[in-house]
Amino acid sequence: MSHDHEHDHDHSHDHGHDHGQDVPSDTALRVKALESLLIEKGLVDPAALDAIVDTYENKIGPRNGARIVARAWTDPDYKARLMGDATAAIAEMGYTGAQGEHMVVVENTPEVHNLVVCTLCSCYPWPVLGLPPVWYKSSAYRSRAVIEPRRVLSEFGVAVADDVAVRVWDSTAEIRYLVLPERPAGTDGMDAEALATLVTRDAMVGVAKVAGPAAKEGA
Amino acid sequence: MNGVHDMGGMHGFGPVEAEAGEPVFHAPWEGRVLALRRAAGAWRRWNIDAGRHSIERLPPADYLRMTYYEKWFASSIRLMLDAGLITPQELETGRRDPAVPVATPPLTADKVPVAIAAGGPTLRQTSAKPRFVNGATVRARNINPIGHTRLPRYVRGRQGVIECHHGAHVFPDSNSRFEGENPQYLYTVRFAARELWGEGAHASDTVHLDLWEDYLDAA
């Protein structure tokens, strides 16, 4: 079996596209059966399930983190609080809770590039970034980010110069990490609200830089 | 445990594949799995460390083959069976054992926002003094516990430097076995990439892990 073939298989499976949308997959049926059983036993409230899904699908996502970053870029006092006690400073903006109970912000500078991973599972700062994307949870990212971060970054299109140090943060405990990216050039006149639209999820994980307004793409 | 989940530094998983415009959930059942795990977790029959260990204990070939939410689903069933929330017969038939009274769900929809915003902080009060000061040189212990641990293989026996401590946190190794929280100081430890990976690594790169006192010795 060629590497490419194996990879293609993993890829389709990772993304869950191997079952058609019209016919419920075996897994979907089994999940439905478990849900029905738990509801029948009075163990879970179906409305609570809906509320949890709605929270993570619609209410919590990387826009939260982008607002933190944009405020840190425009409000030096806030940035000082954020770097000193990120949990409290992020709570000021209303973002707290599950998988963000203990936050640390790490700052990218001309000398340092930060990259966040969880090699042991998929720890990720949910209140500020939402649920992690599939690539963050993939075996490839988890295995490689700590041993060859520069190659991983180059595959994401980030070239790290030889005189820049790469700091990799492996989320082995309940501390969750958010990268404060560098503010791009050409944004001097922009306010926090406009700046937040430039900040991407990937930049806050450390696999991208924030592009200025002229270079910003649709993604 | 020295499981396949402990991926840091492994080779052979191929490139990191990011999906453009990735949805939060690739199918509705994924969101239901997340919600079921969370809602059933409100019974407090397990904790986050036991939950992580239930994923690690999946057979290695299954672990590598399954998607993230397939792993969550399979391990959730394991947790619910072990906790006695459901019986094997109920799982097989999909029907409630009529001998067991219908329960009242602890997590109702109105409580979901508060529960998510509160999360599960792991910081605990302690009267103990931290064993290591910032800047101290430490060595990660060479331990190979068969149960849950958050000390990845790739740092065991390696020397690092204490950057800071985060106070005393619940110790996952004992908590996962329901043997108590055993809170102890949690430190961010900086390892030189060359200490971990040899001369092929970049001289200025570092990998930072959050490690409990029981994982560390003075060096």
- Reported as a pLDDT band with limits 50, 70 and 90, residue A10 is very low
Q: How far apart are CA B213 and CA B216, in angstroms?
A: 5
Query: Where do the DSSP E strands lie in A4-111?
Result: 102-107
Q: What is the pLDDT of residues B161-206, one digit of tens each?
A: 999 999 999 999 999 999 999 999 999 999 999 999 999 999 999 9
pLDDT tens-digit profile of A141-192?
999 999 999 999 999 999 999 999 999 999 999 999 999 999 999 999 999 9
Confidence band for A1, pLDDT divided at 50, 70 and 90: very low
pLDDT bin (cut points 50, 70, 90) of residue A214 is: confident
Q: Is A62 left (phi over 0), alpha (psi -120 to 50) or beta?
A: alpha
pLDDT tens digit sequence for A108-131: 999 999 999 999 999 999 999 999
What pLDDT, in 10s, does the model give residues A12-54? 444 444 444 567 789 999 999 999 999 999 999 999 999 999 9
CB contact under 8 A, A142 and B8: yes
Angle between helices B68-83 and B48-56 (to 10 degrees): 120
Q: Cβ of A51 under 8 Å from any chain B Cβ? A: yes
Element (H, E) at B62: helix B60-65
* C-alpha span between B9 and B197 (Å, rounded): 8
Q: Which helix or strand (DSSP H or E) is residue A167 part of? A: strand A165-170
Average pLDDT rounded to a whole number, residues B89-118 = 97
Nearest Cβ partner of A52 from B6, B112, B170? B112
Tell me which residues of A are annotated as active site.
118, 121-123
Q: Cβ contacts of residue B190 below 8 Å, gap of 6+? A: B160, B161, B163, B206, B207, B208
ipTM: 0.97
R_g over Cα of chain A? 20
B22 contact A CB<8A: yes
Residue A22: per-residue pLDDT = 63
How high is the pLDDT of residue A24?
77
Residues of A within 8 A of B48 (CB-CB) are: 174
Single-letter amino acid code for the residue at A204: M
> What's the rounded Cα separation, in Å, for the pair B61 and A31?
22
Residue B203 contacts A, CB cutoff 8 Å: no
For the residues B142-156, what does the mean pLDDT come to?
98
- At A4, the pLDDT band (50, 70, 90 cuts) reads very low
Among A residues 146-175, those touching chain B with beta carbons less than 8 Å apart: 146-147, 149-150, 152, 155-156, 162-175
Residue B94 pLDDT > 50? yes
Dihedral sign for Cα atoms in the order B80, B84, B90, B92: positive
More confident residue, A23 or A70: A70
B22, B55, B102 member nearest A41 (Cβ): B102
A119 touches chain B (CB under 8 A): yes
* pLDDT for A66 beyond 50: yes
Percent of chain A at pLDDT exceeding 70: 88
The answer to whether A99 faces chain B, any CB pair under 8 Å, is yes
